[in-house]
Amino acid sequence: MEGITNHEIQEFLQNNLGESILSVEESFGMLAVEVHINHIYKVVSYLYKDETMKFQFLTDLCGVHYPDSTNRELGVVYHLQSMTLNRRLKLKVFVPVEKPEVPTITGIYGSANWMERETFDFFGIRFLGHPNLKRILNMDEMVDFPMRKEFPLEDPTRDDKADFQFGR
């Protein structure tokens, strides 16, 4: 299959979407591009429609929580894929935990529907414009967002598994 290199993707992004791109890095063969939060829909739909990029498949969408980075605590990671050009690309946006609002991309990829619901369910990131944003795997009565780092995995009063017990 004919492929395009990461370098070509990076050049394309800088030439066509330069004002929306905050940073670009490459890890283990995949480009990770941080996109300005207000431009994510525009960038994704541009990459979808463009004839040379053809990122027409959403492989994965998930959240991530960095409690220590101020004003950009919550992130959404988009894995886009072009099956015809056999290339993958990772987009990231970060939002503050006080106002975790990200525009939905369900209008571009139907598969984003449940993935965004899952991200909302576990991280509390609200996807603006989502047709049916409610919890999906956890019960509806739940009030916490369990994948956030402050949510304890086990009983918080126990310390028999704490790091100091193991000399860490």
Partner 1 sequence: MKTNLEFLADIHNPETSNIPYSTLNLGPTHPATHGIFQNVLKMDGEKIISGEQTIGYIHRAFEKIAERRPLYQITPLTDRLNYCSAPINNTGWYLTTEKLLGLKVPKRVDYMRVMVMELARIADHIICNSILGVDTGALTGFTYVYQYREKIYEIYEEICGARLTTFMGRIGGFERDFSPKVFALTKQLLIDFPPVWREFESLLSRNRIFMDRTINTGAISVDRALNYGFTGPNLRATGIDYDIRTAEPYCSYEDFKFDVPVGTTGDTYDRFVVRNEEIWQSLSIIEQAMKKIEEMGPGVYHADNDHYYLPPKQEVYKNMEALIYHFKIVMGEIDAPVGEVYQAVEGANGELGYYLISDGGRSPYRLHFRRPCFIYYQAYPEMVQGQYLSDAIVVMSSLNVIAGELDA
Applying CB under 8 A, the residues found at the interface with partner 1 are: 1, 27-28, 30, 32, 56-60, 62, 64-65, 77, 79, 83, 86, 88, 90, 109-111, 113-115, 118, 122, 136-139, 146-147, 151, 153, 166, 168
Rg of the chain over Cα atoms, rounded to whole angstroms, equals 18
The dihedral built from the CA positions of residue 70, 76, 91 and 25, taken in this order, carries a sign that is positive
Cross-strand bridge partners of residue 64: 75
As measured in angstroms, the least distance from the Cβ of 137 to partner 1 is 4
**Is the CB of 11 or the CB of 60 nearer to partner 1?**
60
Check: CB of residue 76 under 8 Å from CB of residue 102.
Answer: yes
As measured in angstroms, the least distance from the Cβ of 156 to partner 1 is 13
**Is the CB of 18 or the CB of 29 nearer to partner 1?**
29
**Is the CB of 19 or the CB of 154 nearer to partner 1?**
154
Place of tokens 């960095």: 66
Whole-number Å distance between alpha carbons of 76 and 137? 18
